[in-house]
Amino acid sequence: MADIETPALVVDLDIMERNLARASSYAARHALSLRPHVKTHKSPWVAAQQMALGAGGVTCATPYEAEIMSAVCDDILLAYPPVGAARAARVATLPGHVRLTVALDSRRAIAEIASAATAAGRRIGVYVELDVGMHRVGVPGVQDGIELARAVGAEPLLEFAGIAFYPGHVRESVGDQDAKLRTLSDALASALRQFADAGVSARTVSGGSTPTLWRTHEIEGVTEFRPGTYVYNDRTTAAIGACEMEDCAATVLATVVSTAVPGQAVIDAGTKALGREPVRGADGEGFGQLLEHPEVIVERMSEEHGVLDLSTSGWQPQVGDRVRVIPNHVCIVVHLNDIVYGVRKGALECSWPVAARGRGQLALA
Amino acid sequence: MADIETPALVVDLDIMERNLARASSYAARHALSLRPHVKTHKSPWVAAQQMALGAGGVTCATPYEAEIMSAVCDDILLAYPPVGAARAARVATLPGHVRLTVALDSRRAIAEIASAATAAGRRIGVYVELDVGMHRVGVPGVQDGIELARAVGAEPLLEFAGIAFYPGHVRESVGDQDAKLRTLSDALASALRQFADAGVSARTVSGGSTPTLWRTHEIEGVTEFRPGTYVYNDRTTAAIGACEMEDCAATVLATVVSTAVPGQAVIDAGTKALGREPVRGADGEGFGQLLEHPEVIVERMSEEHGVLDLSTSGWQPQVGDRVRVIPNHVCIVVHLNDIVYGVRKGALECSWPVAARGRGQLALA
């Protein structure tokens, strides 16, 4: 690893492979379709490994992610409202081998994707997004969802393919999680009955996330789940109990650049390397934790500086020392990097580009 | 602007040019050398405009910024400890026309940059960094600084070129700022006398930041200042009184993608477009504020979702509407983008790459 310039995103390949295999086994055991969200890794190389392990397809949030993943995957879900002419057109013109599905929650989105489908001469599946308590996107009312499903069915090139939901609110704690999962499961079962009674049965019910990954089978009716973070995991995933700290595959390799101010050390990983992301839904101070010295956290940051709190540690860092930071939110860290270094048992094995980072936007004017 | 795909970083060129001209006039009026920090724009095109307006050189935080800026600038300061063999080697091997200075605060950094200078056969100027209250990098003791200056002077290819400091703690409020500026000015004047008495006079005294930009001349002894944010400004700069809201040149163009959950609207700018940056050192809720509806803030975010708080607004957004978000911290927003769209009086005029985004790291193994 000595050749890697800091700050750098480093992935332990043994841990990543174990994370991928574990989710794959879980899906097979419960006869669930695993459709990993690529937002976490943004890499066709990693997506290809997910597909080889039995994923039925991948989930994307942006047109650029879908474009990049189309090289290794023939079944893509855009789990994001296809609103805006450019967004709808980009996904509708993905290479022809891709079976495309989008999730949406408005008539405007139906109109835009229908228009793009017509222009591209392409059939597109549609999930109607329900709000099951996250209060982000999705229609809160089942009847509204049924009406959207009917509107989808009225468009010649669109097909109502199922229901999507995102249980991002089911994460805070184990006690809460039990109750929230039961509430969610009951609400979903009721919605599915109403959809069926209305003659718009949902063939696919797509939900799940990394925080609820291992309990997806407890949500009645779910057929497909879309975890993203599980490939690498992070300090938040461990804090909420969805993995152990030793399941965190991704770290930010950093160098101690200053110990001039007494009682602290400064590393070259700040907000531009770690993101200003808290531990979410559980206790956890700071912006990251050292792999080698778990008692040490990144206490505060500037853009290119991370200040380590040494108050609870006997470690005496020297300028030039290198450390690895387990980030609070790995999806943001990946999005900040252009390249990932893969290591195994501490030795550099490979590197790969974060190919779907950014937006793939055009220069104009 | 209708051709721009969202989310996108849009810069109003009239405002940017006014911001650049104003700082340039201020520098000339007070006979200060303006050395803009490129971390905010990461663009050689913008840096060239700063140079054309009289900047004596630029300031960089990373080797990649320095490499990119060397195309348009022959005087570069790396205001970051040149620690780590790769970092030291990269800056020492910048193109030969560049007059290079680095700032440092440790003997280890002196040894590493001296070694890189020898390997490259290059003379390098060195600023000794003093901690004047920010408690990030810099030696807190003046005597320690004098000893570092002497150690620099003992290296054949290094030259003690001055003192650097960063007054990032002088921002909270006007009342505090007055007292903090006086304290800072007094401490600095005392330090300069001690350096001179010790026979290591500081030819250049380099400080300043956007929050203190317009008061740089009140800090006794300062000869050079390094603001970055002033080129675009942001909600924080306005909140702390260092600019007006109408001086914010950079906004994130976003599309309303969902209004399904009552009482809110969701835009396609979340943490991966805005960063999870608070307003710092002043009041200000949320993660950004709408240009067209200043009463509306981005209340919470997911990676690709920004939830607008509509509770204090009469505005009723529709799916498909486009808005512009004034970000809390523009340096982070720029770092998240690959391309900037330049507009004038609402019309697209040009676009340019964020050429120094990322790290310019190598694929290995």
DSSP secondary structure string for all residues of B119-139? HHT--EEEEEEB-SSS-SSSB
- What's the mean pLDDT when you consider all of chain B? 96
Beta carbons of B296 and B290 less than 8 angstroms apart: yes
Q: Which helix (H) or strand (E) element contains residue A149? A: helix A142-153
Q: Chain A: residue nearest B280 by CA?
A: A302
Residue-wise pLDDT for B107-145, tens only, equals 999 999 999 999 999 999 999 999 988 889 999 999 999
CB-based contacts of A201: which residues, under 8 Å, 6+ apart?
A195
- B5 and A84 within 8 Å at the Cβ level: the answer is yes
Distances, alpha carbon A22 to alpha carbons A26, A41, A59, in Å: 6, 17, 19
Reading the block at residue B135, the tokens are 């408690």
Rounded to the nearest angstrom, the minimum Cα separation between A350 and chain B is: 5
- Hey, what domains does chain A have and what are their CATH numbers? 13-232 (3.20.20.10), 237-353 (2.40.37.20)
A351 vs B contacts (CB less than 8 Å): 363-365
CB-based contacts of A290: which residues, under 8 Å, 6+ apart?
A296, A297, A308, A323, A324, A325, A326
d(C-alpha A227, C-alpha A51), whole Å: 14
Which amino acid is it at A282?
A
Question: Strand (E) positions, chain B?
Answer: 8-12, 33-34, 58-60, 75-78, 99-104, 124-129, 158-164, 204-207, 224-225, 250-258, 264-267, 288-290, 297-301, 306-309, 322-327, 339-344, 347-353
Candidates A53, A54, A103; CA nearest to A78 is A103
ipTM over 0.85: yes
CB-based contacts of B175: which residues, under 8 Å, 6+ apart?
none
Rounded to the nearest angstrom, the minimum Cα separation between A338 and chain B is: 7
Beta carbons of A151 and A159 less than 8 angstroms apart: no
Q: Give chain B's end-to-end CA distance (angstroms, integer).
A: 43
CB-based contacts of B192: which residues, under 8 Å, 6+ apart?
B163, B202, B205, B221
d(C-alpha B13, C-alpha B2), whole Å: 17
The crossing angle, in degrees rounded to 10, of helices A142-153 and A107-120 is 20
Rounded to the nearest angstrom, the minimum Cα separation between B29 and chain A is: 30
pLDDT confidence bin for B224, thresholds 50/70/90? very high
The one-character DSSP state at B229 is: G
- B363 and A353 within 8 Å at the Cβ level: the answer is yes
Q: What integer pLDDT is reported at residue B209 of this predicted model?
A: 86
d(C-alpha A142, C-alpha A196), whole Å: 12
Residue-wise pLDDT for B258-272, tens only, equals 999 999 999 999 999
The residue with tokens 């809201």 is B245
Residue-wise pLDDT for A84-112, tens only, equals 999 999 999 999 999 999 999 999 999 99
Q: Tell me what the mean pLDDT of segment A298-319 comes to.
A: 97
pLDDT confidence bin for B277, thresholds 50/70/90? very high
- B336 and A331 within 8 Å at the Cβ level: the answer is no
Query: Does position B280 have pLDDT exceeding 90, yes or no?
Result: no
Query: Does position A172 have pLDDT exceeding 60, yes or no?
Result: no
d(C-alpha B133, C-alpha A342), whole Å: 40
Reduce the DSSP state of residue A9 to 3 states and report it.
strand
- A303 and B61 within 8 Å at the Cβ level: the answer is yes
Q: What are phi and psi of B344, to 5 degrees?
A: -140, 125
Query: Looking at the partner chain, which of B268, B271, B305 has a beta carbon nearest the beta carbon of A332?
Result: B271
d(C-alpha A219, C-alpha A310), whole Å: 43
Q: Chain A: residue nearest B363 by CA?
A: A351
The residue with tokens 């392409």 is A122
B361 vs A contacts (CB less than 8 Å): 4-5, 8, 338-339
Query: Does position A332 have pLDDT exceeding 60, yes or no?
Result: yes
d(C-alpha A39, C-alpha B154), whole Å: 51
Residue-wise pLDDT for B233-250, tens only, equals 999 999 999 999 999 999
A138: left (phi over 0), alpha (psi -120 to 50) or beta: left
pLDDT confidence bin for B172, thresholds 50/70/90? low
- A341 and B364 within 8 Å at the Cβ level: the answer is yes
Beta carbons of A249 and A195 less than 8 angstroms apart: no
Which amino acid is it at A335?
H
